A = this chain, B = another copy of it.
């Protein structure tokens, strides 16, 4: 039976009945899926329940502070729990064997469509780490400094360090409690938000140097070509957040970022202050949200830039 839990106490009850758990995190993991995974794992282990955190690939170096001193345990899990995984295919190839074996899905995506025996999906929560924080409070759990670091990381990263619209009063209150419980917030913030690789910095610098404007300065466009990526020696995985750059320019209302794919086509990311980004993306067979959407353009650079800028101009 597929049960939708809507109450944190029902979720807490599920956890109390758990005897051992494999905790699944999504592919290309971010601070929220890993923070929630390790935070939950450390809690379960602290109350004598065997638990491991799994990902399709090795855990990224960037998040090493979350899994310092973590060692996988050897056991056959009774429960499979997914955190921050909105759909089966987001598990990645390495975990696909678990896709139809999930006992408990904990998520915060409105769009969640993961089949699981039980699901707790709070689309209004800014981070799964915030859900885990509330769960641990409900369980009367001790939040150790290690758990606090994990949960703080997810809340901070999913809210852009409390900058984005999704930052709720609850997120701030949880952060306050987690800092008091020992989360090393300023170190985590530096690592997550301030430090960039040289390649990333120079790729940004080059892309900004070639930024194009249209619509009287209300449209800004940057293009990240394969040549630029190779020239800066930057890892593609290290290009997250580029889509936000054009909209940081004063007066810009529609920001467009074209990122060339290894096979040559351009993936376009559209970000807007108030225009309907998904409507622009739809023109080219894409889609998304009202302020953030994407599509793929198969023309060459010049033509791709021209057609998407023209389409955007109609939405000013």
- A302 to B164 alpha-carbon distance, docked (Å): 42
- Report chain B residues within 8 Å CB of A205: 204-205, 208-209
Per-residue 0/1 for A181-210: is the Cβ within 8 Å of any B Cβ (1 yes, 0 no)? 000011001000111111001101110110
Q: Tell me which residues across on chain B come within 8 A of A164, comparing CB atoms.
A: 186, 189
Dominant SS among interface residues on chain A: helix
Q: Contacts A162-B172, A162-B175, A172-B176 given; 14 further ones with Cβ under 8 A?
A: A163-B186, A169-B179, A170-B176, A194-B244, A194-B248, A196-B249, A198-B250, A201-B211, A202-B208, A204-B205, A205-B205, A205-B209, A206-B209, A209-B209
Give the docked Cα–Cα distance between A35 and B165 (Å). 21
| Closest beta carbon of chain B to A238's beta carbon, Å | 10
Q: Given A172-B173, A176-B173, A205-B209, do A197 and B167 touch, yes or no (CB 8 Å)?
A: no
Chain A to chain B contacts (Cβ below 8 Å), 30 pairs = A161-B161, A161-B163, A162-B162, A162-B175, A162-B189, A163-B186, A163-B193, A164-B186, A164-B189, A167-B179, A167-B185, A168-B179, A169-B175, A169-B177, A170-B176, A172-B172, A172-B176, A173-B173, A173-B176, A176-B176, A195-B249, A197-B250, A198-B217, A198-B249, A201-B208, A201-B249, A202-B208, A202-B209, A205-B209, A206-B209
Contacts of A165 in B (CB 8 A): 186
- Interface residues, chain A, with chain B CB atoms under 8 Å away: 161-165, 167-170, 172-173, 175-177, 179-180, 185-186, 189, 193-198, 201-202, 204-206, 208-209, 211, 217, 244, 247-250
In the bound assembly, the distance between CA atoms of A201 and B248 in angstroms comes to: 9
Q: Closest chain B residue to A191 by CB distance?
A: B250
Give 10 nearest A-B pairs by CB, closest first.
Answer: A169-B176, A172-B176, A165-B186, A172-B172, A162-B162, A205-B208, A163-B189, A172-B175, A197-B250, A173-B176
Query: Cβ of A244: which chain B residues have Cβ within 8 Å of it?
Result: 194
Residues of B within 8 A of A162 (CB): 161-162, 172, 175, 189
User: Hey, which chain B residues are within 8 Å of A168, CB to CB?
Assistant: 179
A163 proximity list for chain B (CB < 8 A): 161, 186, 189, 193-194
Q: Which of A172, A173, A208 has the most CB of B within 10 A?
A: A172
